[in-house]
């Protein structure tokens, strides 16, 4: 899946990948996709949980070209918009 923004979080440990996601999710328009590339195993749980808590859509995961996990998040519109 193509992403509008890809965050390279390799080498970052929990909770840094989710912090980076929170900092940059609004860099894409509603409906846009942010990819978080992270080699920390906790990201597989943290990214979907963050999406549930913040109301964004967790699209799923795939892999970057080097085989590192890539977590895909679709930004939702703020409530009422």
Q: How far apart are the first and last CA of the chain?
A: 26
Catalytic member of 5, 6, 14, 19:
14
Element (H, E) at 43: helix 43-54
The length of the chain, given as a count of residues: 81
The two tokens of residue 4 are 């509008």
Q: Is 14 a catalytic residue?
A: yes
Instruction: Cite the active site residues.
Output: 14
């Amino acid at each position: 899946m193509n992403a509008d923004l890809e965050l390279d979080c390799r080498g970052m440990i929990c909770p840094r990948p989710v912090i980076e996601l929170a900092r940059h999710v609004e860099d894409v328009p509603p409906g846009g996709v942010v990819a978080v590339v992270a080699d920390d195993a906790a990201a597989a749980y943290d990214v979907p949980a963050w999406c549930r808590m913040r109301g964004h859509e967790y699209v799923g995961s795939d892999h970057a070209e080097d085989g590192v996990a890539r977590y895909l998040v679709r930004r939702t519109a703020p409530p009422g918009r």
